[in-house]
Amino acid sequence: MIARPQPEGRAALARDVRATVRDVPDFPKPGIIFKDITPVLLDAALFTRLTDSMAAAAAALQVSHVVAIESRGFIFAAPVAQRLGVALVPVRKPGKLPHRRVREEYALEYGTDALEMHEDALGAGARVLVVDDVLATGGTAAATRRLVERAGGTVVAFSFVIDLTFLNGRHQLVGTSVDAIVEY
């Protein structure tokens, strides 16, 4: 019997992404192991498989918008939005967006940071997929969910390339489904 080609399993993709992501110790400060996704971008076939898989996982959710978290989230969110055939909305650090904005602050280890989104980007009834490269403590993603809600939308799912599970970020995202290609 001749084996038919099978659609790619998530396990094979996860293995290849895991083997390609580069660990950079002590960046941006001592004690942090930075997950550098740029080697994934250098591999055109792998980058395509990855964003195909992120889009496929969201295909049944009937999302109307992909919301992209600055800045590495932009890289993955744009091809996912195009594959899903839906709108793309950037969430940015303060001072970057030119039009009227909604703003949410979130706690950092020391102090606070903030994220902004154009207030007219979504509209009532928007069904949103939020995309970023890494889920760490979840503060950034949780602030993004609050922004989406303030702009009239609902986050139906989060999609990450990497989940640093030991930081328990999913705890901050309870109530919304969370997908990640690779878990550490």
Chain CA centroid to CA 155, Å:
12
The single residue of 4, 92, 104, 109 carrying the catalytic annotation is 109
Q: Which stretch binds ligand AMP (CB under 6 A): 28-36, 51-59, 76-84, 150-158?
A: 28-36
Q: Does 145 bind ligand AMP (CB under 6 A)?
A: no
- CB nearer to ligand AMP: pick between 77 and 164: 164
- CB nearer to ligand AMP: pick between 146 and 152: 146
Long-range contacts of 35-39 (CB under 8 A, 24+ apart): 35/133, 35/134, 35/162, 35/164, 35/184, 37/72, 37/75, 37/133, 37/134, 37/161, 37/162
Taking the alpha carbons of 48, 88, 150, 156 in that order, is the dihedral positive or negative?
negative
Q: Does 90 bind ligand AMP (CB under 6 A)?
A: no
Rounded to a whole number of angstroms, the minimum distance from the CB of residue 151 to ligand AMP is: 20
- Residue 35: closest CA among 165, 179, 156: 165
- CB nearer to ligand AMP: pick between 25 and 125: 25
Residues 183, 144, 156, 130, Cα dihedral to 10°: -60
The tokens describing 38, both together, are: 């740029």
Among 12, 19, 32, 59, binds ligand AMP (CB under 6 A): 32
The tokens describing 184, both together, are: 């550490």
Rounded to a whole number of angstroms, the minimum distance from the CB of residue 105 to ligand AMP is: 12
Q: Does 184 bind ligand AMP (CB under 6 A)?
A: no
- Judged on CB neighbours under 10 Å (0-12, 13-18, 19+), 58 is buried
Helix (H) or strand (E) holding 53: helix 44-58
Among 76, 139, 180, 181, binds ligand AMP (CB under 6 A): 139
Rounded to a whole number of angstroms, the minimum distance from the CB of residue 106 to ligand AMP is: 7
Rounded to a whole number of angstroms, the minimum distance from the CB of residue 69 to ligand AMP is: 6
Residues noted as catalytic: 72, 109
What is the contact surface with ligand AMP in residues (CB under 6 A)?
Answer: 32-35, 69, 72, 132-141, 164, 169
